[in-house]
Amino acid sequence: MKKEAIRKAQELDSADRLASFRSQFYFPQKDGKDCIYLCGNSLGLQPKTTQPFVNEELKKWQEYGVEGHFTGDKPWVSYHRNSKSILSKIVGAKEHEVVAMNNLTTNLHLALATFYRPKGKRTKILIERGAFPSDFYAVHSRIAMSGGNPKIDLVELEAVDGSDYLSIAEIEEKIKELGDELALVMFPGIQYYTGQLFDIKKITQAAHKVGAFAGFDLAHAAGNVPLNLHEHQADFAVWCTYKYLNSGPGGVGGLYIHEKHGANKDLLRLSGWWGHDAEARFKMANQINPIPTVDGWQLSNVNILSHAAHLASLKLFADAGLENLRAKSLKLTDMMEELVLNSDILADQIRIITPSKHDERGAQLSLFLINHGKSVFNYLIDQGVILDWREPNVIRVAPVPLYNSFADVVNFVSILEKAISNER
């Protein structure tokens, strides 16, 4: 690794206004030292405030038992409201359009039950080829349970040139082609394998133009890139919180429903008692009166311990500022891209399949090993670098602005050079 790159990383870290947040996370250890953790796109690190947040609710349970539902400044009966303010900012929505509940796939099934209502010739769902399994299995089963044929009604779009890049023009053209046969466009905010950031606004506009709904899986986008769901008129979105939102393995999921749908009490949905008139909830009258917001899709009371961990991380986002996080994130990926492309060792051995344009990528770079296999990844792991492998031959690397440094990027690329050199 050139001394110039090391010096630049030191300068950027010294000037980094977010540098102090690194000390607020626990890092896995290797030989008594912090690992280089570049896997926040799979599981975010644990904030040091997580345990106190969770312990607060454990203590309340210990001291009050069931009365904890109505005790203290965060009573359990309304605990989900505590995350709405920062969540609405993270996904670009109004507070009454977002709620933390369940997990991603459960929320996706709930949304599909409402927004995939095949009728007449309008029966098709459009997804991208190679969609994350959460999306594929959910839409496949929803079509089948609605009496359709997934082999016909599930349309998987791939790039016409067979590349990893799916342009917005190709997506818009396919939506136009499907026309009045299209019921729903279901796309990710960021494609998990390539790291490509999709244009939610244009996809939504294209879907609405032909009379279809537009929904999004934000598992790799929430807490990673700027989002503006309300203004872009997306109909629904779901996300998990254990990746960039650092809320713990299997942590609570999230749901967004645009207010025009939330206010429509006649919209069909799979109901639970927590989604109906909160004031009458404990009167046990079993009256159908959905809450006229996204809360009308809630099923049951909140998983308090998981949500407490979620709140701990959300406070860090509020303190750091979303604009600051995005600015640093782009600098981190720019540095990594530059180091890989300018390396005498790596330039002809690695193809970066993540788009280079800032408006088409988030914190992840996907590195395709041209002439090498998983032994390179294994070497990195042995050297204390934690990242993610995806078949075939892709290492997904995610420098997260809340806790990764520019030195992490330089050190990773240096170890990667050694790994490739050892293979030759």
Listed residue (218, 209, 200, 207) closest to 183, CA to CA: 207
User: Looking at the 3D structure of the chain, how many domains does it have?
Assistant: 2
d(CA 217, CA 240): 9
Residues 222 and 333 in one domain: no
- The CA distance from 142 to 214, in Å, is 16
Do residues 365 and 301 share a domain? no
The CATH number of residue 419's host domain is 3.90.1150.10
- Name the CA dihedral angle for 388, 321, 78, 250, rounded to a multiple of 10 degrees: 0
pLDDT attached to residue 243: 98
* Pairwise CA distance, residues 230 & 256, whole Å: 9
- Distance between first and last Cα of the chain: 18
Q: Please, is 330 exposed, middle or buried when counting C-beta atoms within 10 Å of its C-beta (0-12, 13-18, 19+)? A: middle
Task: Report the pLDDT value the prediction gives residue 310, as an integer from 0 to 100.
Answer: 98
Do 108 and 218 lie in a common domain?
yes
Strand order in the sheet with 350-352: 350-352, 365-369, 394-397, 388-390
How far apart (Å, rounded) are the C-alpha atoms in residues 58 and 102?
20
Domain assignment of residue 268, yes or no: yes
Do 310 and 367 lie in one domain? The reply is no
Q: Indicate if 117 and 179 belong to the same structural domain.
A: yes
Say whether both 298 and 408 belong to one domain. no
Q: Residue 344 domain-assigned?
A: yes
**Residue 45 in domain:** no
> Following DSSP, what letter does each residue of 280-321 receive, concatenated?
GGGGT-----B-SSGGGG--S---HHHHHHHHHHHHHHHHH-
User: Cβ distance 281 to 273 under 8 Å?
Assistant: yes
What pLDDT was estimated at residue 95? 98
Count the Cβ atoms, other than its own, within 10 Å of residue 422.
11
In a domain, 341, yes or no: yes
**Is the same domain home to 148 and 9?**
no
Domain range holding 203? 53-317
Same domain, yes or no: 180 and 260:
yes
User: Are 78 and 108 part of one and the same domain?
Assistant: yes
d(CA 170, CA 134): 23
**In whole angstroms, what is the distance from residue 30 CA to residue 170 CA?**
45
On whether both 221 and 345 belong to a single domain, the answer is no
Q: Could you tell me if 405 and 16 are in contact, meaning their C-beta atoms sit under 8 angstroms apart?
A: yes
How confident is the prediction along the chain (424 residues), in pLDDT tens digits per residue?
678 999 999 999 999 999 999 999 999 999 999 999 999 999 999 999 999 999 999 999 999 999 999 999 999 999 999 999 999 999 999 999 999 999 999 999 999 999 999 999 999 999 999 999 999 999 999 999 999 999 999 999 998 887 889 999 999 999 999 999 999 999 999 999 999 999 999 999 999 999 999 999 999 999 999 999 999 999 999 999 999 999 999 999 999 999 999 999 999 999 999 999 988 888 888 889 999 999 999 999 999 999 999 999 999 999 999 999 999 999 999 999 999 999 999 999 999 999 999 999 999 999 999 988 899 999 999 999 999 999 989 999 999 999 999 999 999 999 999 999 987 6
Task: Residue 248: give its domain's CATH number.
Answer: 3.40.640.10
DSSP letters for 248-264? -TT---EEEE-HHHHT-
CA distances 164 to 52, 196, 210, 320, 351, Å, are 43, 9, 27, 33, 11
User: Tokens in use for 81?
Assistant: 């409201």
Where is the domain boundary, 317, 343, 377? 317
Q: Is 61 helix (H, G, I), strand (E, B) or coil?
A: helix
d(CA 421, CA 416): 8
Verify that 335 and 193 share a domain, yes or no: no
Q: CA-CA distance, 184 to 155, in Å (whole number)? A: 10
Last residue of a domain, one of 257, 290, 317: 317
Strands 388-390 and 394-397: antiparallel
Q: Provide the pLDDT for residue 1.
A: 63
Instruction: Tell me which residue of 359, 342, 350 sits closest to 397, measured CA to CA.
Output: 350
Q: Does the residue 44 lie in any domain?
A: no
Q: Which of 317, 332, 362 is the last residue of a domain?
A: 317
pTM of the model: 0.96
13 and 94 co-located in one domain: no
